[in-house]
Amino acid sequence: MANVGMAWTTGVVAFVAAVPLWRFTTHAITIAHEGGHAMFGSLVGLFVKKVTIDRGGGGTSFTKEPKDLSLLQILAVGLTGYLGPSIFGFAGAWMLVHDISPRSVLLMTLVLMAMLLVMVRSLFGFLAVPLTGALIWVVAMRSTEQVQLVFAYIWIWFLLMGGTRQIPELFSVWKQGGEPDTGNLAVRTGLSTAFFVALFWLLSVAALVYGGVLLLRHTP
């Protein structure tokens, strides 16, 4: 089990990765973003056609066109892209505080990444997903329990912080009038794109705060 000092230290390390080093780490959040689209889309009966992951961006397409999706499917796909990293990060924090081992958390991450890799259809994605997965595999299978715990904390913190860090980029793209996630949601629900930008920001911050509290309080 972690102590308060380790929880804070891993949070600081994750902050450095998610903010000053964002240019180099953004692809990991893109993987979680597109993974959210793909996983939750599949859960509501959609079949993924392809996933692309590029430098600083990506996309997920399904065999059905957006105009043919039900409202439930639109919500499931549209909301879980920008909220994907926060969802996965919060789930990881919840599992750790409920005494699921760090190795199990990391191995579950690997399973999800392996499923995503099957759907990837871009060169950068074929490099980014396996390399990120290889790092997680080495820690999960070749390191001590303490190293696994530290890495799991950093990874979960990073997902939570990265989920919030991507929102300013969403705001910038939205202001330029070309953001598909909020656009599709707005068209099908009748709500404004500004509403969904604000919703993504509020929920990602809430996940960071609540997930962070869980991590910081998970001490002997």
pLDDT at 2: 63
Residue type at 183 in one-letter notation: G
User: 217: pLDDT confidence band, cut at 50, 70 and 90?
Assistant: confident
* Structural domain range at position 166: 4-62+71-217
Alpha carbons 84 and 93: distance in angstroms, whole number: 14
- For the chain, what is the total number of helices (H) and then of strands (E)? 10, 2
Alpha carbons 63 and 176: distance in angstroms, whole number: 28
Alpha carbons 158 and 79: distance in angstroms, whole number: 20
**86 or 69: whose pLDDT is higher?**
86
HSE, side-chain direction, 13 A CA sphere, residue 133: 19
pLDDT one-digit tens code per residue, 20-79: 999 999 999 999 999 999 999 999 999 999 999 988 688 999 998 878 889 999 999 999
DSSP assignment letter at 66? G
**What Cα–Cα distance (Å) separates residue 174 from each residue in 54, 67, 107, 159?**
19, 21, 35, 22
How many domains does the chain divide into?
Answer: 1
User: 168: pLDDT confidence band, cut at 50, 70 and 90?
Assistant: confident
pLDDT at 57: 83
pLDDT one-digit tens code per residue, 193-212: 889 999 999 999 999 999 99
34-37: long-range pairs with CB below 8 Å, 24+? 34/58, 34/59, 34/60, 34/81, 34/84, 34/116, 35/84, 35/88, 35/112, 35/113, 35/116, 36/80, 36/81, 36/83, 36/84, 36/85, 36/87, 36/88, 37/77, 37/80, 37/81, 37/84
Residue 220 pLDDT greater than 60, yes or no: no
Mean pLDDT of the chain: 91
Please, which residues have CB within 8 angstroms of residue 167's CB and are 6 or more apart in sequence? 82, 197, 200, 201, 204
Q: Any idea which of 51-65, 80-94, 130-144, 148-162 has the lowest mean pLDDT?
A: 51-65
